[in-house]
Amino acid sequence: MEFDDLMGALSRQAGDGGDIPKDEDGVVRFAVGDITVAMMELPELGEMVIWSRMGELPAYGAEKLKTALLRGNFLGRDTGGATLSLSESDEIYLHRRLEMRPLDGEAFVEILTGFVQLMDAWRKIIVAYVPLAESEAETDGEMPSGDGFGIQV
């Protein structure tokens, strides 16, 4: 399917049925609860990219969180094939590229639903991590060890 057709399927699934507007850069943004998801067509590749900001690295304990994020990326184990990344301004993102041609509207909405659920899970992990990092700064103690930072996806 084409990008605009997939956006139409998303709009119908949401019960809107109208066009989902693109900004001047061709980016579509929409909110699911308090999660904002952005999508953009990569026409030269026949792909699209979906992304969302999950939070920022904490002032303390950033290295341990980076390690946990990298471990989550390993073989797509905890990301469902999406990728966790870090912007130049230390913002944490989840993104996924999709080949559009084999998708139909139903499959696209299913993938997008899974992406939002994954976003929600990782955001909870990051939010839960920040108090642990602040606690480490206050006590100069060790961060909890084990699988990642003690929270499973």
Whether pLDDT at 81 is above 60 = yes
Question: Please, how many CA atoms are within 13 Å of residue 23, restricted to the half-sphere of its CB?
Answer: 8
Q: Is the dihedral of CA 132, 136, 141, 143 positive or negative?
A: positive
Q: Which residues contact 73 (CB under 8 A, 6 or more apart)?
A: 79, 83, 84
Q: How many C-beta atoms lie closer than 10 Å to residue 34's C-beta?
A: 7
Please write the tens of the pLDDT for every residue from 23-42.
Answer: 898 899 988 888 889 999 99
Neighbouring-strand partners of residue 99: 47
The sheet with strand 35-42 has its strands ordered as: 27-32, 35-42, 47-56, 91-99, 83-86
Residue 135 to residue 68: CA distance in whole angstroms: 18
Burial of 101 (0-12, 13-18, 19+ CB in 10 A): exposed
CA distance 131 to 111: 32
CA distance 70 to 77: 10
In tens, the pLDDT along 132-146 reads 555 555 444 444 433
Provide the pLDDT for residue 131. 56
pTM for the whole structure: 0.76
Position 130 scores a pLDDT of 63
Are 72 and 89 a contacting pair, CB within 8 Å? no
